[in-house]
């Protein structure tokens, strides 16, 4: 993520930059203080070298525009898009105080099953909303998913997203013919073949992320770019690849997301979310009790302790049908024992 540090500007718009969060190919991200509302915000700024690149400018503006028209709790909320005096395009957005899924997986390669499902469920809900609005993300990967300290998931980085409703420009002008946009290790077979990405392509990426969380590694990652493309196109993952303690239903679910042909994947992200929800009935879904601890662990220096804290968090069971029935049975047993004992006591 973060490469070399950029010079910190004194001001960006009305905000005061406090820290550089990331410096990527497209631009830098600054954590800033907004004195008018006394809150932290994030500003994404386009790289100077891209300023003359009209496709990059359009894509940057499109990211802001797409985000502004998606309103979902698991999709990052933009605040404003403007051009700085020095010409830099800037997009301000809500600050997610938390960690990326990449950071989480770097600390714990295989999170507990319920954590995996809770994250996937939220990602699928956000995608369902985006797809319904005609937006395909096209670059889903753990670095573009964040979980905040309240346990809420956010999809980020709609920088190369495609929309059915181009507001000013034709889509063609934003597509570099023959070029592969996005990260190939999470890309669908059809995208690696240069075909258009569809909602089903995002579902394949969710399948790659899911299999990475369950297997402890991204099995599509090859030795080099060509090898990875080959694996994405040819590697057939089977149920045997997964540990026996992973329920058969979940294995089948992930394999369906990873179907090579888009038509064999779930019909929609909402369908996939519903299917997952059925499997999560008796499991906790709220990541809130753990995120504070995990975020703090990430920032602490004691790396050795992280794995245990992350991979075996205490589970606070949420109430469900079985605990309710157990409660009823215990209550009935106590009442029966009392009824039996009372005549002897009196
Ligand atoms: N709103 C945000 N709040 C906190 N961190 C963020 C936010 N947006 C991005 N980041 C951090 O910056 C990184 C890069 O942001 P991203 O939008 O993915 O830009 P890029 O196009 O450079 O990949 C993310 O992986 C995340 O670590
Ligand atoms: Mg990114």
Catalytic residue among 34, 38, 55, 139: 139
> pLDDT for 87-146, tens place per residue?
889 999 999 999 999 999 988 889 989 999 999 999 999 999 999 999 999 999 999 999
Per-residue pLDDT of 53-94, as tens digits, reads 788 888 899 999 999 999 999 999 999 999 988 888 999 999
Q: How confident is the model at residue 30 (pLDDT cuts 50, 70, 90)?
A: very high
CATH number of the domain to which 52 belongs: 3.30.200.20
Query: Is 233 within a domain?
Result: yes
Ligand 1 contact, 21 CB (< 6 A)? yes
| Pocket probe mutation, ligand 1, options 2, 15, 21, 79, max atoms within 8 Å of Cβ | 21
**pLDDT at res. 53:** 78
Q: How many domains does the chain have?
A: 2
Report whether pLDDT(32) > 80: yes
Q: Are residues 181 and 218 in the same domain?
A: yes
Q: Which residues surround ligand 2, an ion (CB under 5 A)?
A: 144, 157
Domain of 184?
Answer: 98-305
pLDDT exceeding 90 applies to what percent of the chain?
Answer: 60
Confidence of residue 296 (pLDDT cuts 50, 70, 90): confident
C-alpha of residue 157 to centroid of ligand 1, in Å: 7
Q: The tokens of 170 are what? A: 């034709």
In a domain, 104, yes or no: yes
Q: Is 153 or 325 the better-scoring residue by pLDDT?
A: 153
Assess whether pLDDT exceeds 80 at residue 13. yes
Within a domain: 195: yes
**Are 285 and 205 within one domain?**
yes
143-147, 200-204, 260-264, 298-302: least confident range? 298-302
Residue-wise pLDDT for 154-183, tens only, equals 999 988 888 876 444 444 334 443 445 567
Cα 215 to middle of ligand 2, angstroms = 23
Give the tens place of pLDDT for each residue, 209-227.
999 999 999 999 999 999 9
**Whether the Cβ atoms of residue 177 and residue 195 lie closer than 8 Å to each other:** no
312 within some domain: no
**Is 138 in the same domain as 221?**
yes
Considering the domain architecture, whether residues 281 and 207 belong to the same structural domain is answered as: yes
Q: Does any domain span residue 129? A: yes
Domain identity same for 129 and 243: yes
Same domain membership, residue 138 and residue 33: no
Of 94, 128, 163, the residue that ends a domain is 94
Q: What is the mean pLDDT of residues 9-14?
A: 92
Q: Are residues 231 and 129 in the same domain?
A: yes
Helix runs in the chain, H state only: 54-68, 101-107, 113-132, 189-192, 199-215, 225-234, 248-257, 269-279, 288-299, 306-311, 321-345
pLDDT, averaged across the chain? 85
94, 123, 141 — which closes off a domain? 94
User: What CATH number corresponds to the domain at position 221?
Assistant: 1.10.510.10
The 8-class DSSP code of residue 164 comes to S
Amino acid 177: pLDDT: 38
Instruction: Give the count of alpha carbons within 13 A of 66, CB side only.
Output: 29
- The residue to mutate among 28, 29, 99, having the most atoms of ligand 1 within 8 angstroms of its beta carbon, is 29
Active-site residue, 139 included: yes
* pLDDT score at 170: 41
* Higher pLDDT pick, 156 / 50: 156
Task: Judge if 103 and 65 occupy the same domain.
Answer: no
Q: How many residues does the chain have?
A: 346
For residues 208 and 332, which has the higher predicted lDDT (pLDDT)? 208
Q: Does residue 312 register a pLDDT over 60?
A: yes
What's residue 162's pLDDT?
85
In a domain, 311, yes or no: no
Q: Report the atom number in ligand 1 closest to the C-alpha of 22.
A: 12
In a domain, 4, yes or no: no
- Contact 76/93 with Cβ under 8 angstroms? yes
- Give the position, in ligand 1's atom list, of the atom nearest the Cα of 23: 22
Q: Nearest residue CA, atom 8 of ligand 1?
A: 156
Measured CA to CA, the distance from residue 330 to residue 327 in angstroms comes to: 5
Report which secondary-structure segment, H or E, holds 31.
strand 27-34
pTM of the entire predicted model? 0.86
Cα of 179 vs its chain's centroid, Å: 25
- In this structure, are 239 and 104 located in the same domain? yes
Helix (H, G, I), strand (E, B) or coil at 109: coil
- Say yes or no to pLDDT of 242 above 80: yes
Distances (CA, A) of 292 to 43, 154, 331: 24, 16, 36
Within a domain: 130: yes
Burial 254-277, CB ≥16 within 10 A → b, else e: bbebbbeebeebbebbbebbebbe
Q: Which ligand is nearest to the CA of 77?
A: 1
- Of the listed ranges 123-127, 130-134, 289-293, 337-341, the least confidently predicted one is 337-341
Once rounded to an integer, what is the mean pLDDT over residues 232-256?
Answer: 95
Domain boundary among 59, 94, 129: 94
DSSP-derived letter for residue 319 is P
Whether 309 contacts 293, CB under 8 Å: yes
Q: Do residues 123 and 167 share a domain?
A: yes
CA dist 239 and 250 (Å) reads 10
Please name the residues in contact with 283: beta carbons below 8 A apart, sequence gap of 6 or more. 113, 114, 117, 118
Judge if 193 and 292 occupy the same domain: yes
Q: Are residues 149 and 286 in the same domain?
A: yes
């Amino acid at each position: 993520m973060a490469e070399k540090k950029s010079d910190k500007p004194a001001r960006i718009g009305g905000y005061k930059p406090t820290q550089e969060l990331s410096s990527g190919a497209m631009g830098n991200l600054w954590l800033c203080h907004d004195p008018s509302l006394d809150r932290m915000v994030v500003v994404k700024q386009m790289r100077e070298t891209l300023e003359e690149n009209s496709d990059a400018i359009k894509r940057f503006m499109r990211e802001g525009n797409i985000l502004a028209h998606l309103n979902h709790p698991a999709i990052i909320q933009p605040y404003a898009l403007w051009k700085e005096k020095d010409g830099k395009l800037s997009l301000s957005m809500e600050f997610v105080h938390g960690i990326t899924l990449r950071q989480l997986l770097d600390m714990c390669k295989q999170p507990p099953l319920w954590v995996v499902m809770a994250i996937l469920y939220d990602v699928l809900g956000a995608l369902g909303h985006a797809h319904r609005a005609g937006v395909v993300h096209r670059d889903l990967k753990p670095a573009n998913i964040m979980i905040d300290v309240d346990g809420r998931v956010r999809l980020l980085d709609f920088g190369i997203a495609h929309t059915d409703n181009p507001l000013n420009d034709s889509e063609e002008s934003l597509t570099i013919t023959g070029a592969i946009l996005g990260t190939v290790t999470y890309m669908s077979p059809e995208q690696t073949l240069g075909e258009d990405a569809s909602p089903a392509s995002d579902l394949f990426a969710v399948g790659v992320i899911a299999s990475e969380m369950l297997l402890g590694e991204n099995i599509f990652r090859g030795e080099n770019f060509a090898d990875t493309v080959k694996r994405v196109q040819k590697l057939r993952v089977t149920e045997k690849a997964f540990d026996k303690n992973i329920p058969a239903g979940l294995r089948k679910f992930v394999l369906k997301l990873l179907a090579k042909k888009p038509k064999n994947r779930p019909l929609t992200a909402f369908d996939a979310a519903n299917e997952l929800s059925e499997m999560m009935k008796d499991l906790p879904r709220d990541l809130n009790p753990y995120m504070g601890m995990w975020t703090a662990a990430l920032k602490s220096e004691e790396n050795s302790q992280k794995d245990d804290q992350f991979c075996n968090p205490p589970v606070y069971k949420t109430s469900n049908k079985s605990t309710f029935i157990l409660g009823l049975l215990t209550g009935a047993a106590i009442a029966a024992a009392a009824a039996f004992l009372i005549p002897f006591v009196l």
